Amino acid sequence: MRIRLATEYDLKDLTEIYNQAIVRGTCNAFTETFEVEDRRDWFESHQNKQYPLYVYEKDERAVGFVYFTAYRPGRLAMQGTAEISYYIHQDFQGMGIGSQLMEFGLERAEGLGFDTLIAILLSVNEGSFALLKKFDFAEWGRLLGAVQLPLGRCDHLYYGRKIGKDESE
């Protein structure tokens, strides 16, 4: 096991993991799966030092990933805030990989100059609630009934956490 920067070689595995989350129906607001090529622009947007994409590798295969995305891109006053996102292959959930990725992400975030992290999730995503609470994220916003999933309406949530020297604020 190791966590490392994602490479082009990982794109197929990353797409598979993301599609599993879509099919599950509780992890993001996408309702149709992607082909590998559909995810190439997303992948390329994370091939930089400021908003990297890391994979959890087991047996030479990506089984999870964590990445950062700019929050409100282009607004310099918000450059210290980033969104953190994470996904785990369905066959590897419940093994502590999410916790390892989150811990790794939090360590990297401060080094990248972020003082605030947000996670955007659906109110039906119980696994993410547990993980975020374990790492001291709190609910900072709720858009009531904003998401229409095949299984019904749910809320769109913003969880946040200060990191580094600003953690106590």
> What is the pLDDT tens value at each position of the chain, 169 positions in all?
899 999 999 999 999 999 999 999 889 899 999 999 999 999 999 999 999 999 999 999 999 999 999 999 999 999 999 999 999 999 999 999 999 999 999 999 999 999 999 999 999 999 999 999 999 999 999 999 999 998 899 999 999 999 986 555 5
pTM metric for this prediction: 0.93
Q: Count other C-beta atoms under 10 Å from residue 51's C-beta.
A: 17
Q: What is the pLDDT of residue 88?
A: 97
User: What sign results for the dihedral spanned by CA atoms 45, 47, 51, 57?
Assistant: positive
Please report, for the chain, the start and end positions of each structural domain, with discontinuous segments joined by +. Answer: 2-166
CATH topology (fold) of 2-166: Aminopeptidase (3.40.630)
Selection from 1, 18, 95, 101 nearest residue 52 by Cα: 101
> Two tokens at 17?
């993991």
